[in-house]
Amino acid sequence: MAGLLALALARITVPVTNEVLDPTGRTSPFRPHPGRLNLAPGLVALALLADIAGASMAVTGWLWLGAGAAFMERMAEGFIGRAGMRCEILGLMAATGFSGLGMLALGAARLGAPWSEVAALHLVVMGGLGLGVLAVLAIAGRFHTGQGLGFSRRTRAAFALIALATCLRVLPEMGLIPWPPGPLHAASALAWAAAFLLWVWDYWPAIRDGNTLEQLH
């Protein structure tokens, strides 16, 4: 999943960033190095192959650290000046960042860090994949309903809720914050589900609009 996420984000980020930098579409000011497009998914594939082949914990730990570093390097592409503070860019970069942090945490766990691999995997899946899916839904939803970029407060809140849900699930298990009150993982699950419900609430009127359906056909 992480490799597919890296491939998808690499191809989505370029047109979105160019749209943010030049809404007229006349120029393409953002042109990432071609080698970066497949570096992160390639290193993820290498780490997975090492796992399947039965390599030692130390070897796979260093490979996952390398994959995580590649994701963090991809995240750095979001530093495009003031335009990098747009939610569209922040959402895509946060998805990459959470994935990278999860792989770094996974590698560190295999090299002796005092947290479980489960916490690291939740960073990748809940944070990275969750934010990536929401970013694709939000960006594609705007374009496919005849709107330009520009997220509403509800969609921005949805991104914040996924980040919050991931932190509530992972940080207590890593011993970095106290466990939240109530049933185990309840706050995290509710925040994560609420994020996607907010997206549906925000986009449903445009999706069900008759004009939108005509454009899609």
pLDDT tens, 81-139? Answer: 787 788 888 998 999 999 999 999 999 999 999 999 999 999 999 999 999 999 989 98
In Å, what is the CA distance from 195 to each residue of 44, 160, 198?
28, 8, 5
Domain boundaries, the chain: 2-22+35-216
48-72 residue pLDDT tens = 999 999 999 999 999 999 999 999 8
Q: Does residue 214 carry a pLDDT above 70? A: no
**Helix, strand, or coil (residue 139):** helix
Cα–Cα–Cα angle for 150, 23, 80, nearest 5°? 80
pTM of this prediction? Answer: 0.87
> What size, in residues, is the chain?
217
